[in-house]
């Protein structure tokens, strides 16, 4: 499993690799913060047929519910 955050010119991209497949959420900065049209990672995995509820819950709790991407954008704007 691998999780990565990459800042972009107008937001950030989160990628999660699970079981050899990469899932992605692309966020764009708006007047109210950041917005994405991509589903949460746990939803994307469930749509792919992953039924391990413990794994889906942990991904929700530890990845989907955190703000690492927006924090990275703030750091980049303030310090770079």
Q: pLDDT for 24-68, tens place per residue?
A: 999 999 999 999 999 999 999 999 999 999 999 999 999 999 999
Give the Cα separation of 46 and 69 in Å (integer). 22
Per-residue pLDDT at 80: 80
Mean of pLDDT values over 3-15: 96
- pTM confidence score: 0.90
């Amino acid at each position: 499993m691998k999780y990565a955050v990459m800042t972009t010119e107008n937001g950030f991209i989160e990628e999660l690799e699970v079981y050899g497949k990469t899932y992605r959420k692309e966020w764009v900065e708006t007047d109210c913060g950041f917005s994405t049209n991509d589903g949460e990672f746990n939803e994307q995995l469930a749509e792919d047929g992953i039924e391990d509820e413990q794994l889906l819950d942990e991904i929700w709790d530890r990845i989907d519910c955190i703000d690492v991407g927006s924090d990275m954008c703030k750091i980049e704007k303030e310090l770079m």
